Chain A
Amino acid sequence: MKKFIVRRLLLGVVILFFVSIIIYSIERSLPTSYVEGKARAMSQKQGAKPYDELVADLNASYGLDKPVLPGYFSWLGKAIRGQFGESWVWHQPVTEKFGSVIWYSFALGLISFLLEIFIAIPLGIISATKQYSRTDYAITVVALVGISLPSFFFATILKWIFSIHLGWFDLYGIVSRMHEQMGSLGQLLDIGKHLVLPAATLTIVSIGSLMRYTRTSMLEVMNADYIRTARAKGLSEKKVIYHHAFRNSLIPIVTILGNSLPNLFAGAMITETLFQIPGIGYTGYQCLVQGDIPFTMFYMVFLAFLTLMGTFIADILYAVVDPRVRVN
């Protein structure tokens, strides 16, 4: 097991290395005018250095004056030491900005993750136990509609109904105008209120796949011989389903949940942007659009890291949950 983990980790490092090389070379293919525009804006401030000097400074500080490969290694050298530079858009160190916004994304992700589990898994089980019944069809349709819903469209519909027509929630933002005057509990509730629509969007959009997954996994188990044995023993249907079938169907479900665990930190770019929740997704989107190379570089490598972590956790969990799997 230890050997397996070490090997996977080393492999992850290698993959991350190549992914970051690709991301870096794509970032470098951005039109240089971002740096030039930046330098032009900076040079117009009072007491600033002349434009040419600023361009050279900026290029040098991000290794943009070097060819792609040496530039990458100089970025890597700093990145390993945790120095990701200063964000051009936010004018503060990338890691600091990241630290200040990540918790909004995490809160949003956690709420929708929990809702997803509590709604999708029971519905998936019901759907599987009553296969080809009306309930099954209804749940399947709901699940597939969820999968097929474009998140931007669903978010817009929610805004249209609940913000514009009913006026229950604000259209944008994480806090309301009177936020500063509220007590600490009021502030928390205020943030919670602003997370209702985004969380609903994320849950509905992501609920479908977990529901289908649970159904398939449950159906597979229900066809297994030991379920027939359990029924033959005369166990109650309840016991058969929740004691024998459900536990075994959990194996792939736990794996897939483990896979999406790191995604709690990834942020939901579209949803956050539409609701202007200042999480990592919205921040990252703004940086991407404005060509903030230090931040996007960090953001994309971070996303790649999360994906790798996801598969890593899934593999480990698979081995842990199912003892039949031999890790090597």
Chain B
Amino acid sequence: MSKELNNEKEHPDNTSLALDDEQRVKVLSPGMLVAKRFLRNKLAVAGLVIIVAMFLFSFLGGVVSPYGESQVFRTTEATWKDYAGASYNDTYRFQAKDGASMPAAAQQRFILAEGKGEESFEAGGIGYSLKKAGEDLYLISAEQPIATVLTLKGKSSYKETGDIPLTDEIKKAYEAAEAADEDTFEADGISYSISQSGRQVSISCSQELALATKKIFNAASEENEEGYDFQRAALEAMEEKADSFTVGEEEFTLEAVEGQDAAEIKKDGEIYATVSTLLVSPQTSASFLSLDFKEKVETAIAENAASFTADNGDGTEITYQLQKKNTQYVIRSQKETTVNATFEAPGRTHLLGTDGNGMDMLTRLMYGGRISLLIGFVVILIEIVIGVLIGGISGYFGGWIDTLMMRLVDVVICIPSMPLYIIIGAVMDYYQVDPRIRIYLLCALLGLLTWPSMARMVRGQILSLREQEFMIATEATGIRISRRIFRHLLPNVIPQLIVMATMGLGDVILTEATLSFLGIGVKFPFASWGNIVNAVNDIYVLTNYWFVWIPAGFLILITVLGFNFIGDGLRDAFDPKMKR
């Protein structure tokens, strides 16, 4: 506005000399009149206030705000993570003797044999025999060849084949059995079997190799050993419903748990291990589950509880979740994890909350305002330059130049702008144009498609101005063409130009917001009011997080409204016909 005031003051005020004082007070320069009329319009002033506030909010706000445009905030959140699994064991678990091992093939054969009720099976060329020692408890022995015997003319020659020394007692017992035509014999409390193939007889002994049980042993501490001997003794004791058993020289007491197929084994009055059918295993092999924890799991399952509290090993009680999945139970504990602070409700640290990326909403709005306003002004500038140039030339020269230019205007007006933006946005997406360059391209594109209305207006104005007397005067005084256009014609178009530009600013901001909303305008990480509202494409956000999209949409509305108020006020102020 002040520019115009200066402009108008340059003209000498001739009337003032002839007028008396009373009238002189009333005389104002045309610029002052416009300003006065403008300021008297409440809506226009409101618009001015809105736009000034918007500028302060966007350009000063971004500086004042303690956060950055794309600063991501993190927060710790407790999430339920799988901690352990539990299931009732219904498969056999094998515990081999110290130093021995039960091959996997033999384990599978055992399960087959057990199912068929057979007493022996073969795997890997070795014969095995199984003995039922209780419910779901089998003792497995492997046949171990000891010697081959070749009997020629009543005289036997022995050949050791295994690691076990062939003692004289075995030989005696063998001979006795041979004489009695028996398949088995016993010596030193160990039973041996005889098998004949051709003339060669081989002696083998069956040695206990492993036990198979469905019971699970849980040790009270990591050091406690639960070897073959221990397990066998314990299981046999359980089978016999005995109160105690000894392993080697150590004595253990056994206490059955009521109502369950489980038992507690104590040593010196302290729990040493428990036996049950429930298998509780940690999710990661590194962690050791305490006996107490396993017991808690067992009671929780028995009580059908959804959660329980237990010691976590460090002496603190924490709550665990128990979930049933088919026959399996999953125990979950809460774990602290760092996540992006997404959709945080408005509060003290974030006045308008945070968005889906954990960025401060208010700060994003400020930076978004910068981009929206800047794009608006740049586009309008491009529009004015092209519009004035084409409209001015066309209006001043007329003739075929005018016709050509106006057909160009017609063509550009006819190009459907929104589809074109979408196509070009898709092309830019395809070439993965840098978001910063996209903003420049967007400005150029918007400018190149919106100038025709400006050009038409300038042309119309110039056509009518060209015929007026002052232009004939410039022609008569021989002022050069460029000066005639820029010094005498264009300043007369400026009022309409300002009105159009102000209104146009609102339109450009709207278009930019719409494009950004569709995801083809300003792109992340840059904020724009349009792409902030874009979050509502997720119905969940639309339903639950009003603070993400309503402020941004409201700012667009207010800003465009402000420009329209100013434009409207300016038009009324410039137009003498609308004088109140």
Q: Tell me the A residues contacting B by CB distance below 8 Å.
A: 11, 14-16, 18-19, 22-23, 26-27, 29-31, 33, 132, 137, 140-141, 144-145, 147-153, 156-157, 159-160, 164, 171, 212, 219-220, 223, 269-270, 284-285, 288-289, 291, 296, 299-300, 303-304, 307-308
Contact = CB atoms under 8 A, between A and B. Distances in A.
B419 A300 contact: yes
Interface stretch (B30-38, B354-362, B433-441, B560-568): B560-568
Contacts of A299: 419
Given A153-B556, A156-B553, A159-B542, A30 B426 contact: yes
B493 interface: no
B553 A303 contact: no
Given A141-B43, A151-B514, A152-B514, 20 more contacts: A22-B411, A22-B415, A23-B415, A26-B420, A27-B423, A31-B427, A33-B430, A145-B557, A147-B506, A148-B564, A150-B513, A152-B517, A153-B513, A156-B533, A269-B418, A270-B418, A289-B422, A303-B419, A307-B413, A307-B416
Contacts of A159: 542
A148 B557 contact: yes
Contacts of A14: 407
B93 interface: no
The secondary-structure label for the interface of chain A is: helix
A141 B415 CA distance: 32
Given A22-B411, A31-B430, A147 B564 contact: yes
B536 interface: yes
A217 to B, nearest CB: 13
Nearest to B408: A18
Contacts of A157: 550, 553
Contacts of B506: 147-148
A144 B549 contact: no
A80 to B, nearest CB: 18
25 contacts: A14-B407, A15-B410, A18-B411, A31-B427, A31-B430, A31-B431, A33-B430, A140-B568, A148-B510, A150-B510, A150-B533, A150-B553, A152-B517, A156-B542, A156-B553, A157-B553, A160-B542, A164-B542, A223-B577, A270-B418, A284-B419, A296-B419, A304-B416, A307-B414, A308-B414
B533 A145 contact: no
B561 A145 contact: yes
A288 B420 CA distance: 9
B286 interface: no
B207 to A, nearest CB: 63
A117 B431 CA distance: 45
Contacts of B407: 11, 14-15, 18
Contact of A137 (B42, B513, B578): B42
A141 B42 CA distance: 11
Q: Which of B413, B415, B431, B517 has the most CB of A within 10 A?
A: B415
B229 to A, nearest CB: 65
A300 to B, nearest CB: 5
Contacts of A289: 422, 426
B424 interface: yes
A291 B426 contact: yes
Contacts of A148: 506, 510, 557, 560-561, 564
A19 B43 contact: no
Interface residues of B, number: 45
A219 B536 CA distance: 42
A19 B415 contact: yes
B539 interface: yes
B44 to A, nearest CB: 11
Interface string B364-394: 0000000000000000000000000000000
B348 interface: no
Given A137-B42, A147-B564, A148-B564, A153 B415 contact: no
A288 B419 contact: yes
Nearest to A273: B518
A164 B543 contact: yes
Contacts of A29: 427
A284 B422 CA distance: 11
Contacts of B325: none
A210 B312 CA distance: 72
B322 to A, nearest CB: 36
Contacts of A171: 539
Contacts of B513: 150, 152-153
Interface string B554-580: 001100110011001000000001101
B411 A156 contact: no
Given A149-B557, A150-B517, A289-B426, A140 B414 contact: no
Contacts of B577: 220, 223
A150 B414 contact: no
A304 B418 CA distance: 12
Contacts of A11: 407, 410
Nearest to A27: B423
Nearest to A16: B414
